[in-house]
Amino acid sequence: MVEVLNAYPHSFPQVKALRSDLSNHAKPDTKSQERSSGLKTPVRTAPRPLRKRLAPKDRQRLIEDYLAGALQKDLATRYSIGLSSVKNVLREAGAKKYSARI
């Protein structure tokens, strides 16, 4: 640190200001701790299983829509589930969309 200060003799006020800032950040903020002491921290819960998020009727409609030509990403948006969930439903049902090859 001394070498840096010697290399930049006019920077001492900046170094002093940085030290002061660092020492202020190192102190615990008691006011914010007092305010947040009564608040509970959010707890992450595991996502609900797909079978609970998507009713059997919706699952069947999703498969029918896919076979009718809907895109997987559009189905994910329409049924408010993730793209991987759409793919899982289709894979479990064995639904495959065949396109005509020329």
Q: Is residue 12 one of the residues assigned to a domain?
A: yes
Q: Is residue 29 one of the residues assigned to a domain?
A: yes
Q: Is residue 40 one of the residues assigned to a domain?
A: no
Range of the domain at 11: 2-35
Output the pLDDT for position 49.
81
84 and 59 belong to one structural domain: yes
60 and 30 belong to one structural domain: no
CA dist list (Å): 62 to 4, 21, 48, 69 = 66, 57, 19, 11
pLDDT band at 102; cut points 50, 70, 90:
low
pLDDT in tens, 10-56: 666 776 776 776 666 666 555 555 555 556 667 778 877 887 888 99
Q: Is residue 68 one of the residues assigned to a domain?
A: yes
Output the pLDDT for position 48.
79
27 and 56 belong to one structural domain: no
Give the total number of structural domains in the chain.
2
pTM of the full structure: 0.51
**pLDDT higher for 3 or 72?**
72
User: What is the C-alpha to C-alpha distance for residues 63 and 68, in angstroms, rounded to an integer?
Assistant: 9
Amino acid at 84: S
